[in-house]
Amino acid sequence: MLGDINDFLKQNSWAVIGVSSDKAKYGYKVYNQLKKIGLLSLCNQSRS
């Protein structure tokens, strides 16, 4: 199982679903960090 998790985390691009515009919420924090390091591949343009 640990191998599966490591394989999952090695992905080169990510999509975050349900990102909040509230900077205190977890979804926004994940989105923002992935965007900063260039791993975000998809986002809801009407909310980003």
Query: What is the predicted pLDDT for the residue at 23?
Result: 92
Q: Is the pLDDT of residue 47 over 60?
A: no
- Quick one: pLDDT at residue 9? 82
* Domain boundary assignment for the chain: 2-42
Q: What is the DSSP string of 1-48?
A: -HHHHHHHHT-S-EE--S--S-TTSHHHHHHHHHHHTT-EEE--TTT-
| pLDDT score, position 3 | 87
Mind listing the pLDDT tens digit for each residue in 3-45? 898 898 888 877 777 788 899 998 888 888 888 888 876 655 5
pLDDT of 15 reads 76
* pLDDT score at 37: 86
